[in-house]
Amino acid sequence: MPDWSSIYQSLEEHGVRVFNDTVPPIPVSGGDISAAWRLATTEGHLFIKTGPLSTAEMFAAEADGLSELSRSGAVYVPEVIAEGQCEAMVFLALEWLALEPVDAQVEHSFGEQLAELHRTTAEQFGWHRDNTIGLTAQRNTWTDNWVDFYREHRLSFQLRLAADNGFRSELQGRGARLLKRLPIYFENTQPVASLLHGDLWGGNWGCTAGRPVIFDPAVYYGDRETDIAMTRLFGGFGAAFYEAYEACWPLPDGHHERQDLYQLYHVLNHLNLFGSGYLGRAVSLMDKLL
């Protein structure tokens, strides 16, 4: 159980007062990585994440990523209220989101807003800090060339983890050949370093107060096609979203082939997080690419 008295004190230092102990925090379901709570305060409800000290960097990177997305002004993100350490745990306090059903108009707005987010760019690929994708470390070392970045800090990193986890014979030979072929997929395109959500599956966006909202990011600057590829991996996005995005900023030729390449990163990550149930999909994507 979190040390709520220490969390209350930290929140008050940020100008937020909790009502009192007669309105206890309410556990919130849905999180796989950390505990989550709804907390009533004088400023309205807050969403509180709590975790062990080992998650301190993960929480800090999430708060930093939300702030980075917010500064773009393109898509709504929950406000970061406070983060800190209390005894043997860490916490992150965010604006509470009253999520509503998503309709085609909201999806259309989100497509437009995501295209606008992607127009926020950097001179290099990466980010000023590492973060996590799920519970997996995600390296974001600034790199001049996108192919080099994606090879070393995305695919190679996951393939090394897979080898450490015992997935060798099916993946490593295919992986080595794919890494050598990587430049082929970019012969006719030069990606810009766009600000990315980084983990844009259907569970990490929604609607609040009639507008799209995104959360739980794995932020970095990279090829915008990676966000779009992730939206197609597990579903959760309708035709209105894609039509609006394409109308604002059409994807370049060859993006359908690169979609497999970008989905492979997330499938390998799921393999490393959740086990052999994702092995067949990883092998299938590699064979298709090769």
Domain harbouring 206, CATH code: 3.90.1200.10
Same domain flag for 118 and 81? no
Q: How many domains does the chain have?
A: 2
- For the entire predicted model, the pTM comes to 0.95
Q: Catalytic residue among 21, 103, 130, 199, which?
A: 199
Q: CA-to-CA distance for 174 and 189, rounded, in angstroms?
A: 24
Same domain flag for 107 and 225? yes
For residues 51-66, average pLDDT? 94
Same domain flag for 106 and 241? yes
Lowest-pLDDT range, 2-6, 181-185, 244-248? Answer: 2-6
Q: CA-to-CA distance for 163 and 150, rounded, in angstroms?
A: 18
Q: Where are the beta strands (DSSP E) in 173-286?
A: 193-196, 205-208, 211-214, 220-222
Same domain flag for 152 and 275? yes
Expressed as residue numbers, the domain containing 66 is 4-95
Distances in Å between the Cα of 67 and the Cα atoms of 185, 228, 256 are 33, 21, 31
Q: CA-to-CA distance for 123 and 137, rounded, in angstroms?
A: 23
For residues 236-253, average pLDDT? 97
Which pLDDT does position 20 carry in this prediction?
A: 61
Residue 260 bears catalytic tag: no
pLDDT of 8 > 90? The answer is no
**What DSSP element (H or E) covers 49?**
strand 44-52
- The encoded tokens of residue 121 equal 């760019």
Instruction: Quickly state the pLDDT bin for 30 (edges 50, 70, 90).
Output: low
Kindly state the DSSP code that residue 14 receives in the 8-state scheme. T
Query: For residue 98, how many other CB atoms are within 10 A of its CB?
Result: 10
Domain boundary among 71, 95, 119: 95
